[in-house]
């Protein structure tokens, strides 16, 4: 009886918190210790290693993020709270920018000195900017795939003007 009453009170309290978006509460959304586990399970039970950047898609249904020391990009299905591996094969993935119109995901592969692009329709990953595994600062005013970058990390996409801004940290530049 007392437990039933408590359960009712707790459910009222939780409902109250959830329905009041102004409540200043904080929760763990993803991550439960250091490691690489939990794919296809609840995000708040998954082990991560240095998540560094994220991006929410335009329908707010997937939160993509870079799991730096696991060399993976993962996403969380925001409707279920479940986490999935999205892409592997990076060396220090950092910034993520989404081109929702063209269904593309840009990932700064920092320690490989390139920006990769993943076509979500075909599943194909290609190099968008920089030269794989080679740092440098050349290529301005030329084709982006002939350029060199040095530890690219944060990025932002201007989807109206079709411009991708890249922090080229090792060169002290923004491109
Ligand atoms: C992505 O892949 C699809 C399917 O292969 C293709 O039709 C589309 O043109 C690609 N998008 C870009 C921007 O390359
Ligand atoms: C770079 O892009 C140009 C034009 O998009 C293409 O013709 C060329 O083959 C590409 N070069 C490499 C090395 O991928």
pLDDT digits (tens, 9 = 90+) for 57-86: 999 999 999 999 999 999 999 999 999 999
The answer to whether position 131 is within a domain reads: yes
Structural domain count, the chain: 1
Cα 112 off chain centre by: 17
The answer to whether position 56 is within a domain reads: yes
Residue 113 to residue 132: CA distance in whole angstroms: 6
- Domain that includes residue 142, residue range: 51-174
Structure confidence by residue, pLDDT tens digits, 21-36? 668 999 999 999 999 9
SS3 state at 126: strand
pTM for the complete prediction? 0.87
User: Residue 101: pLDDT band by 50, 70, 90 thresholds?
Assistant: very high
What separation in Å is there between the alpha carbon of 133 and the centre of ligand 2? 18
Which residue out of 122, 126, 127 has the highest number of ligand 1 atoms within 8 Å of its CB and is therefore the one to mutate? 122
15, pLDDT greater than 60: no
The answer to whether position 159 is within a domain reads: yes
Query: What number of residues does the chain have?
Result: 175
In the chain, pLDDT over 90 holds for what percent of residues?
86
The answer to whether position 10 is within a domain reads: no
107, pLDDT greater than 80: yes
Task: Look up the CATH number of the domain holding residue 91.
Answer: 2.120.10.30
Lowest mean pLDDT among 9-23, 94-108, 111-125: 9-23
SS3 state at 10: helix
pLDDT score for 11: 39
**Strands of 104-109's sheet in order across:** 93-99, 104-109, 114-119, 125-130
pLDDT score for 161: 86
The answer to whether position 9 is within a domain reads: no
**Strands of 152-158's sheet in order across:** 152-158, 163-168, 173-174
The answer to whether position 138 is within a domain reads: yes
């Amino acid at each position: 009886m007392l437990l039933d009453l408590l359960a009712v009170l707790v459910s009222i309290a939780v409902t109250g918190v959830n329905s009041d978006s102004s409540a200043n509460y904080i929760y763990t959304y993803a991550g439960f210790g250091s490691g690489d586990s939990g794919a296809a399970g609840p995000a708040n039970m998954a082990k991560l290693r240095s998540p560094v950047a994220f991006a929410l898609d335009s329908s707010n249904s997937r939160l993509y993020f870079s799991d730096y020391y696991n060399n993976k990009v993962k996403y969380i299905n925001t409707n279920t709270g479940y986490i999935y591996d999205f892409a592997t094969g990076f060396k220090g993935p950092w910034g993520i920018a989404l081109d929702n119109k063209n269904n593309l995901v840009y990932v700064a592969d920092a320690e490989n000195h390139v920006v990769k692009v993943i076509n979500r329709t075909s599943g194909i990953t290609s190099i968008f900017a920089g030269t794989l595994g080679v740092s440098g600062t050349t290529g301005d005013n030329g084709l982006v795939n002939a350029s060199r970058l040095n530890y690219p990390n944060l990025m932002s996409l201007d989807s109206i003007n079709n411009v991708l801004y890249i922090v080229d940290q090792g060169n002290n530049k923004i491109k």
